[in-house]
A and B are shown apart, each in its own frame.
Chain A
């Protein structure tokens, strides 16, 4: 299969993902209607669909560790962030969930989402069993949501103060970078499934040959994605915190 053929044919009509997207969209429209910011929500749904029905998900699903890593980052860091941003300002969480909105829990969830699912056994299981994979996706979205709640919660008073938010993000960056460094330099495969993929689609030759992605290089790219671009996401969030801090109301000049 050539690259062109692959990108035109490898779309998987993942019924569950499409159904979930439809239900979520209807729920959003019924619940918040015009009060929220639907553009963010549409972007979140779009990315969600892309990560489960596009050829990219076929790659992530047992072929390429690096593609899996992109999916991982999108699910933990991008979709939950867009989701919180899409909600109306009046939104708040109900009692059972408020226990989960402590900063330490949010931080541990965000960083733990990265570490937990890259334990070799779990990573392998998620790449081979679709049930584990679904569990993984759900848990990543959930943990990512807990992480972002601290800085992107709809109401200002539910968020960390900007300086605390900066510290929260600033420390998350090295905590994930360390894992990225380990993945990049590990001499053994962290997720052995990706070393010898089952070639369901007949694309393996193109990947290894035309794209030049050997399994070593594949894992390296995966590690580097977690090491560097992920920190860039945290950095963007840090800059947003700074902007929020400095844009809080400036009073008119005093007569003191």
Chain B
């Protein structure tokens, strides 16, 4: 390594004034999916270092028995920050970054469907991460675990603002994740190149497409839970506090209804990566494409209905346990199908043991262990014994590191040439790989045995019991190997970026479209696309005499629905989950009435009048759309204006209702009914308000005759309409639950 040359190149690339003018704001204001992807990856790397250092301190504290390197509170804070950082600010952004870069390339798209939304989704991540870490300066980091079980995370038990920062940080990144998922769905549905039918999608794209639906279903559930927790903490609500009739178990249900799908949100993209790497380095097409694709859908559906296996030790009763034991075991079938497909792909192939393939092979073995210990936890009887021990810590680290992080590292080595135009160093890559394999297994294999010997998790220190000392020491030594691996990785990235071997377009002789363009790709991604008739267009291009069989009809025809419509429907799908949780929580507390005000005291008559205004506004919007279609400008303005007025009248009605309730002494903190009532109707009101802002913007645009004139404005107008109708439909359910239901008793 010649140091001076590196510095010269760094100066040329980054500090040269002529180029700097371009760089200064370009990366901050970019809406190019490739640059946003790089930002995602760099952010993930930064937080990876932070989360890793947090883990290092925890392992140092646990290295010997009765250690006092860290205070108990500090340990709890590190343990919370490590979990939260690694899941939300490392694994998710790293995977989203890879998807952001390669999903549009794999389908031959020019960019994501909504480039600005893409930038918004990314910037939510650093904002959330900074909020989370700022808590350290603002009076103490959260110390309630990444799961923030109530009532520990409630005001009486955690009065420092750390928990609030935690909740807000996750709300912000969660919103970013949802916008990312909306973008992914819209991109795959509406931005495919001619010939790229849904059945010809590369597996990485297909699996991440399916994954986007899990994100849309699961993240809003977390957001609802966080909103409820914040209402409890900031507005003296009672959702999860037993003292005011709230239910701490309810938090666990809602949190794990998100938390279990979250495991798959991280695992599925990793499966997608492995499904790309293994065929390329085995020089064979994937074995059983349909099974890998289909099992992803099965995982997506099943992942929603197994969350209670995180709660066997809560004491839900034998009936619930039994059902969730069976459902949890079912999910091992589609996962097992995938492992068999990958193994069968390697079987009989000419395997090239390059670094990405090494990671894929390690992934297979480690994921197998993770899966087997996972199945053991699906059995409630065994789970009772091992759940609160290091056996579980070992299990989920085998999933999170042994599978997911290994897949990410493999993907970085695999796709780095495309992103930078230069190969990553193969020898340095091998160093990282072997240090990582040794360090990871040294740290975590032994923790299975520690757990079986009875060492509980979530403890800051432990007594000097037989074998515990050396086992923990071994585990801590492993962390140093992983740290060394990370240092070599960062060095490798830096050196390869400036001095790596030029990669060419397709260094691995891979078959998917991202390898059909230059490395790095031009701003518009492709100059020209090859003919797409199968799942391996570059194979067909290179082997014109023996192409893959054509998949589906032999044509370029693809149906591409309007991206605005797809986007808003995806958004509405996610909102259903958010309101679903709030309505179910309301019902739960309705069924467990507390002393004080209840739904019977609400004034139905007045509410019905204002509801009628809201429902009428859906009708007037529909008339406005028809008028727009008929190009009757004045009529359209009239109907749209009336829509805004009717929506505003509804809001005024709600404000009056709130005012009257406040007057009679009913506030958010009065009892659990009031908490649930104000949260549900308040969030609905907020949605109406946002809808009004959107409609007012359209009214202004319509006034200037810009709606329906330019490209896409009428479809954007229609999308706003979908949202507005959705807000009305939510009110139908709120009206039924909150106002009508008490009358039926």
A253 and B302 within 8 A (CB): no
Q: What per-residue 1/0 map shows which CB atoms of B550-594 lie under 8 Å from chain A?
A: 111110000000000000000000000000100010011001100
CA distance A186 to B590 in the complex (A): 10
Residue of B297, B305, B531 near A227 (CB, 8 A) is: B305
Residue of B199, B290, B305 near A228 (CB, 8 A) is: B305
B547 and A254 within 8 A (CB): yes
A178 within 8 A of B: yes
Contacts of A232 in B (CB 8 A): 327, 330
User: Smallest Cβ distance from B600 to chain A, in angstroms?
Assistant: 17
A185 and B554 within 8 A (CB): no
B298 and A239 within 8 A (CB): yes
CA distance A112 to B548 in the complex (A): 46
Please report whether the interface of chain A is mostly helix, strand, loop or mixed according to DSSP: helix
B305 and A231 within 8 A (CB): yes
Contacts of A166 in B (CB 8 A): 297
Contacts of A245 in B (CB 8 A): 199
Max count, chain B CB within 10 A of own CB: residue among A166, A177, A185: A185
Contacts of B531 in A (CB 8 A): 256
A238 and B301 within 8 A (CB): yes
B550 and A182 within 8 A (CB): no
Residue of A178, A221, A231, A242 near B293 (CB, 8 A) is: A242
CA distance A242 to B294 in the complex (A): 7
A124 within 8 A of B: no
User: Smallest Cβ distance from A242 to chain B, in angstroms?
Assistant: 4
B533 within 8 A of A: yes
A238 and B549 within 8 A (CB): no
Residues of chain B having any CB pair with chain A under 8 Å = 198-199, 213, 217, 290, 293-294, 297-298, 301-302, 304-305, 317, 319-320, 323-324, 326-327, 330, 531, 533, 546-554, 580, 584, 587-588, 591-592
User: Smallest Cβ distance from B528 to chain A, in angstroms?
Assistant: 16
A220 and B552 within 8 A (CB): no
B304 and A182 within 8 A (CB): no
Number of interchain pairs (Cβ within 8 Å) = 88
Q: How many A residues, CB 8 Å from partner? A: 37
Contacts of A181 in B (CB 8 A): 584
CA distance A253 to B540 in the complex (A): 10
User: Smallest Cβ distance from A206 to chain B, in angstroms?
Assistant: 19
Given contacts A228-B305, A238-B301, contact A187 B591 (CB under 8 A): yes
Q: A182-B584, A254-B554 are in contact. List 13 more A-B contacts (CB 8 A).
A: A178-B580, A187-B591, A224-B319, A239-B298, A242-B293, A242-B294, A246-B199, A248-B552, A250-B551, A252-B550, A253-B548, A254-B533, A256-B554
CA distance A164 to B493 in the complex (A): 44
Contacts of A6 in B (CB 8 A): none
CA distance A181 to B304 in the complex (A): 13
Q: What per-residue 1/0 map shows which CB atoms of A171-192 lie under 8 Å from chain B?
A: 0011001100110111110000
CA distance A231 to B331 in the complex (A): 13
12 contacts between A and B (CB under 8 A): A173-B301, A173-B304, A231-B301, A231-B304, A235-B301, A238-B301, A239-B297, A251-B552, A251-B554, A253-B546, A253-B547, A256-B531
A89 within 8 A of B: no
Residues of chain A having any CB pair with chain B under 8 Å = 163, 166, 170, 173-174, 177-178, 181-182, 184-188, 217, 220-221, 224, 227-228, 231-232, 234-235, 238-239, 242-243, 245-246, 248, 250-254, 256
CA distance A178 to B326 in the complex (A): 19
User: Smallest Cβ distance from A42 to chain B, in angstroms?
Assistant: 29
Residue of A184, A188, A251, A256 near B553 (CB, 8 A) is: A251
CA distance A81 to B588 in the complex (A): 34
Contacts of B584 in A (CB 8 A): 178, 181-182
Given contacts A178-B580, A182-B584, contact A228 B297 (CB under 8 A): no
CA distance A187 to B546 in the complex (A): 66
CA distance A14 to B612 in the complex (A): 49
Contacts of B553 in A (CB 8 A): 251
Residue of A163, A188, A220, A243 near B591 (CB, 8 A) is: A188
Given contacts A173-B301, A239-B294, contact A251 B591 (CB under 8 A): no
Contacts of B327 in A (CB 8 A): 228, 232
